Amino acid sequence: TEQENARVNQILHDAESDFANYDAEIARLEAALSVLIHKRKCLQDYVARHRSLLAPVRRPPPEVLSLIFLTHCRQSTNEIVFGGLGHTLSSVVLSQVSIGWRRVALGSPRLW
């Protein structure tokens, strides 16, 4: 009947409207997911960059670091003169990297 056809058309129209609503919601959620994935990747990169600060290679024993410095400075031929005293430029550079390296360099008389 005409009334049944109208009812079926209304049901179909409502279902198609629901499809459109679902599609819009899926698009919104996909956009939100994309933003979250990007933020997660940025955080992952941040953690990886800062995790390296805790790497054991950043904390070698002073004796080992001193030997590395000595080997490096022996291979270097550059010299710089301070107040009439000749110093290997690489030992000066090594002593300026960080406080820890400066302590090791200054505590290694063979570098100077």
Residues 75 and 46 in one domain: no
Q: What is the pLDDT of residues 54-102, one digit of tens each?
A: 888 778 899 999 999 889 888 876 666 556 555 547 888 888 888 988 9
* Helix-helix angle 62-75:99-106, to 10 degrees: 70
Tokens encoding 29: 């959620």
pLDDT over 70 percentage in the chain: 89
Could you give the number of structural domains in the chain? 2
DSSP-derived 3-state class of residue 80: strand
**Global pTM value:** 0.48
Range of the domain at 78: 59-111
Residues 101 and 84 in one domain: yes
